[in-house]
């Protein structure tokens, strides 16, 4: 399906029970099992919620990834991705990243032993020189917030893979309409959906999309374990946006 057709279909469904064509807001924390050892596929909304599932599948489709994850804010999405790393790991991150991303790396993840080198992501030599034996990922925003600096995702992803690192791209400012980092080789895409993905300035939300199953499972685990999920009302608002 063409990208614009995909966008036009986001959130449209045919609810089997009622025929509703707008995704219903399943405002339920818990789901009853039909019987012992049986499940509708939903148990508890931190793990999965039917409205969130529609949104997560839609964003995965738009970014051309294997799975999407909806978080309660862009910073919850950034944190969720960073939590797949461990003490002793090192990250190479664009120096002109969103201030909140800088803050959480500098003031929170640093306390847990994850170190960061900030680089000019438009300078491939500087990025390559920052990689150490402990580096696990290169995280860029392109364009950056606030200076709108541009990075070459294709080249950065190639460099990352050459060193067996993840390439993570914060795609908040372009959205998958203008740029699909996974198609350029990135492994993970992050959004502050609060901005252009929702587009109405009425919902705070974050999105992560993974290209491959192994990373998707790590993020699914963190999302459920830490619990900063997007509520069903906000999922509906983002689907509408």
Ligand X SMILES: Cc1ncc(COP(=O)(O)O)c(C=O)c1O
Which residues are the active-site residues?
46, 98, 170, 195
Give Cα separations from 155 to 82, 161, 166, 186, 189 (angstroms): 22, 10, 13, 10, 16
Cβ-based nearer residue to ligand X, 121 or 172: 172
Q: What are phi and psi of 35, to 5 degrees?
A: -170, 175
Closer CB to ligand X, residue 42 or residue 172?
A: 172
Q: Which residue has the tokens 């939300």?
A: 205
Residue 81: which of 170, 213, 212, 205 has the closest Cα?
A: 170
The minimum distance between CB 8 and ligand X, in angstroms, equals 25
Q: Is position 170 an interface residue for ligand X (rule: CB under 6 A)?
A: yes
Minimum CB separation of residue 191 from ligand X in Å reads: 8
Per-residue mark of binding to ligand X, 62-101 (x: CB under 6 A)? -----------xxx--x-------------------x-xx
Task: Rule CB under 6 A: say whether 143 interacts with ligand X.
Answer: no
3-state secondary structure (DSSP) of residue 5: helix
What is the gyration radius of the CA atoms in the chain, in angstroms? 18
Q: What SS3 state is found at 74?
A: helix
Is residue 235 at the binding interface for ligand X, with CB under 6 A as the rule?
no
Cα separation of 224 and 196, whole Å? 26
Binding residue (CB under 6 A) for ligand X from 56, 63, 141, 187: 141
Stretch 98-117: interaction string toward ligand X, x if CB under 6 A: x-xx----------------
Among 68, 185, 206, 231, which residue sits at the site for ligand X (rule: CB under 6 A)? 206
SS3 content of the chain, % helix, strand, coil (to 5): 40, 15, 45
Residues 6 or more apart from 22 whose CB is under 8 A from it? Answer: 11, 12, 13
Residues in binding contact with ligand X, number by CB under 6 A: 15
User: Which residue(s) pair with 118 in the sheet?
Assistant: 93
Question: Which residue in the set 135, 142, 145, 179 belongs to the binding site for ligand X (CB under 6 A)?
Answer: 145
**Strand partners of residue 18:** none
Asked if 198 is part of the footprint of ligand X (rule: CB under 6 A), the reply reads: no
Among 45, 135, 192, 223, binds ligand X (CB under 6 A): 192
The answer to whether 194 contacts ligand X (rule: CB under 6 A) is yes
Q: Which residues bind ligand X (CB under 6 A)?
A: 73-75, 78, 98, 100-101, 141, 145, 170, 172, 192, 194, 204, 206
């Amino acid at each position: 399906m063409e990208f614009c057709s995909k966008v036009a279909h986001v959130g449209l469904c045919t609810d089997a029970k009622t025929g509703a064509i707008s995704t219903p807001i399943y405002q339920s924390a818990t789901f009853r099992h039909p019987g012992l050892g049986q499940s509708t596929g939903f148990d508890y909304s931190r793990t999965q919620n039917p409205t969130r599932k529609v949104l997560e599948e839609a964003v995965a489709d738009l970014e051309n990834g294997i799975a999407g994850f909806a978080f309660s804010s862009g910073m919850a999405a950034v944190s969720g991705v960073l939590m797949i790393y461990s003490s002793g790991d090192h990250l190479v991150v664009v120096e002109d990243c969103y201030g909140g991303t800088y803050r959480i790396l500098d003031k929170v993840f640093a306390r847990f032993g994850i170190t960061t080198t900030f680089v000019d992501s438009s300078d491939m030599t500087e990025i390559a020189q920052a990689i150490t034996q402990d580096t696990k990922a290169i995280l860029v925003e392109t364009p950056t917030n606030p200076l709108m600096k541009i990075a070459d995702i294709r080249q950065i992803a190639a460099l990352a893979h050459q060193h067996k690192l993840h390439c993570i791209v914060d795609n908040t400012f372009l959205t998958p309409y203008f740029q699909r980092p996974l198609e350029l080789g990135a492994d993970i895409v992050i959004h502050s959906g609060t901005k252009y993905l929702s587009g109405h300035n009425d919902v705070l939300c974050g999105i992560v999309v993974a290209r491959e199953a192994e990373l998707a499972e790590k993020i699914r685990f963190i999302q459920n374990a830490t619990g900063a999920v997007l509520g069903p009302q906000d999922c509906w608002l983002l689907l509408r946006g």
